Structure 1
Amino acid sequence: MSRLWIIGPGAVGRTLGRLFHDRGVFAVSGIVGRTREGAEAARAFIGGGQAADAATPTAGDVVMISTRDGEIDAVAAALADGVDPAGLVVFHCSGARDLAPLEPLRRRGAAVAALHPVKAFADPAREVATFDGVVCTLQGDAAALAVLAPAVAAIGGAPVVLPQGVDRRLYHAGTVFASNYLAALVQAGLDAHAAAGIDGETALKILSPILRDALGAILDKGPVAALTGPIARGDAATVAAQVEALAARDAGLAELHAALGRKTVELARRKTPGLALGAVEEVLDAR
């Protein structure tokens, strides 16, 4: 069994470390954090390994860099200077960063990769319990993927290998739209209800069933087929009334409504070719 070194024991590092440990995929060896206290807390959560001041892996070991994106370059450079990388598998967990930060390690014989779990990491205990089925995208050297793909499958994840030419900035932007911006979109709905005079608890009660239903339909049929609402019907009068009311209460919400409306027009045209949407576009473009 390969030894695993964890550099950056935050929510992602703790979650993956605990899963790798519990499922017997890797033997957690060293845990390196910003502080000794953080590394000790991660060790207690993971249930294995030792807090360390620096990673000292040797050939055959696996190194996970689960720091913040902006720290990956410095960590990889320090690792390349501090040990012999030959024979190591080194991967980072960033969705947005490519493999360039790991190039100093690759040049000296390491197999490198990016492993990005497409999941919101808020609470490591919750993420461990809900990890089954999570897609983990992989990109990198064949030798690294040969180790990491079965490791992901062993902890309940679904490994998906991305083509080498994928622009990770755009890939990650897509996950942000679908996850982070979904939270912001729901908050916009709650804000609109608040402006209408509906309290937050009642608004969430109203929106929860349709949110679940809409998301289920989108995942089952795709966004175009699942599209409903006034723009999908070409109902310019309703859209105009909404824009007018939002603009009178909250200019930011009105701008967001118009921007999303223009994207929705694109979907509506694909769903119903020939649908008259010119009047809707005039209303939205007036914002």
Structure 2
Amino acid sequence: MELNIVGCGHLGQTVAKLWQRNATFSIGQVLNRSISSAQRALDWIGAGRVCDSHSELTPADVWLIATPDSAIAEAAALLAELDLNWHHSTVLHCSGAHSAALLQPLAQRGAQCAAVHPIHSFANPEASLKKLAGCYCAAEGDPAALHTLKPAFEQLGLQWLTISAAQKSVYHAASVFACNYLTTLLAAAEQCLKATDIGASTEHPLPVLMPLIQQTLVNIDNLGPQRSLSGPIKRGDSELVTAQAKALATIDPDLGKLYLALAEATVKLAQLPADKHQLLGLALDDLKRQIPNPRQ
């Protein structure tokens, strides 16, 4: 089957290269915002043809819309205006936050439409080629489209899950917590180190924490979040939590507020005895009055 791609960024390039390698699809046309970016994508994939504009797109068995989320609906609407027979085409997007309903203009033209979201970070396509296999993907949409797409994604080594369209926002929030907000937390950890002698001795001090991060992930994988929790809140050490929050607030009030917000969430996770829970609650309430103005 031939695959056309609209918006071939990191995700589109990665899955297209793997599908090309596996002979899952024959790569057809690639349409990006510029001819130069489309050519770079094809050079990396090693197959396909550059398309100059929507009007030059020709039929394909499968269409991947891999644009940013905000452009999916517009891309679908433009494709639906083409004088093509869509009744034998499967169209998908890979947004985790949005359902296949964004492709409704194409569904009305007869296309089988679905959304398939690989639960993976595509920031580094070279790394993704090696690491994508074993990840999960969440799919929803037209049953005929899912029937076509499931073996294609399984050939990439992805484990197939289905989800209802109504659950996409909450589902995608899980990925945001696990990936985007984890990145923010580690940036905060690096900011803390940079305020110490360790940070003064190296431009990028985060590798100091990498073994701890990796072991924590192993623990969570084996034991789950609650049983893997350690540290001052797990011990009910309200004095240390207070001291750390105040110290961070003197470096950056926003850093202090972030620490405080996470401390409140962690108290809930820790399931402490009533006396320790109460002491930490009182300490955090006091900190909330102080952190907004830590230097006063």
Normalised TM-score (structure 2): 0.90
CA contact (8 A) 2:249 2:256 kept: yes
Secondary structure of the structure 1 residue equivalent to 2:81: helix
Q: Which residue of 2 aligns with 1:84?
A: 85
CA contact (8 A) 1:234 1:275 kept: no
Deviates more, 1:84-93 or 1:258-267: 84-93
User: Quick one: which amino acid aligns to residue 248 of structure 1?
Assistant: T
Counting only pairs closer than 5 Å after superposition, residues 85-234 of structure 1 correspond to structure 2 as 85-166=86-167, 168-199=168-199, 201=202, 203-234=205-236
How far did 1:264 drift? 0.2
Q: Which residue of 1 aligns with 2:14?
A: 15
Count residues with an aligned counterpart: 281
Counting only pairs closer than 5 Å after superposition, residues 200-279 of structure 1 correspond to structure 2 as 201=202, 203-269=205-271, 272=272, 274=274, 276-279=276-279
Closer/same/farther in 2, CA of residues 284 and 196 from structure 1, 3 Å limit: farther
Deviates more, 1:155-164 or 1:202-211: 202-211
Percent of aligned pairs sharing the same letter: 37
Task: Show CA shifts across 1:33-77 (max 9, x none).
Answer: 11112212211211211111333225xx00000011111111101
How far did 1:152 drift? 0.6
How far did 1:188 drift? 0.8
Matched, 1:45 2:47: no
CA distance in 2, matches of 1:263, 1:237: 18
Task: Show CA shifts across 1:192-237 (max 9, x none).
Answer: 1222332264843431221111111112111111111111111111
How far did 1:119 drift? 1.2
How far did 1:173 drift? 1.9
CA contact (8 A) 1:57 1:63 kept: no
Structure 2 unaligned segments of length 5 or more: list them. Answer: 289-296
Closer/same/farther in 2, CA of residues 81 and 275 from structure 1, 3 Å limit: farther
Structure 1 unaligned segments of length 5 or more: list them. Answer: none
Secondary structure of the structure 1 residue equivalent to 2:133: coil
Secondary structure of the structure 1 residue equivalent to 2:166: coil
CA distance in 1, matches of 2:100, 2:129: 26
CA distance in 1, matches of 2:48, 2:194: 49
How far did 1:238 drift? 1.1
Deviates more, 1:23-32 or 1:116-125: 116-125
Task: Show CA shifts across 1:84-123 (max 9, x none).
Answer: 3212100001111222220111122111111111111122
Secondary structure of the structure 2 residue equivalent to 1:198: helix
Secondary structure of the structure 1 residue equivalent to 2:198: coil
Deviates more, 1:195-204 or 1:124-133: 195-204
Closer/same/farther in 2, CA of residues 229 and 25 from structure 1, 3 Å limit: same
User: Quick one: which amino acid aligns to residue 25 of structure 2?
Assistant: F
Normalised TM-score (structure 1): 0.92
CA distance in 2, matches of 1:274, 1:225: 18
How far did 1:251 drift? 0.8
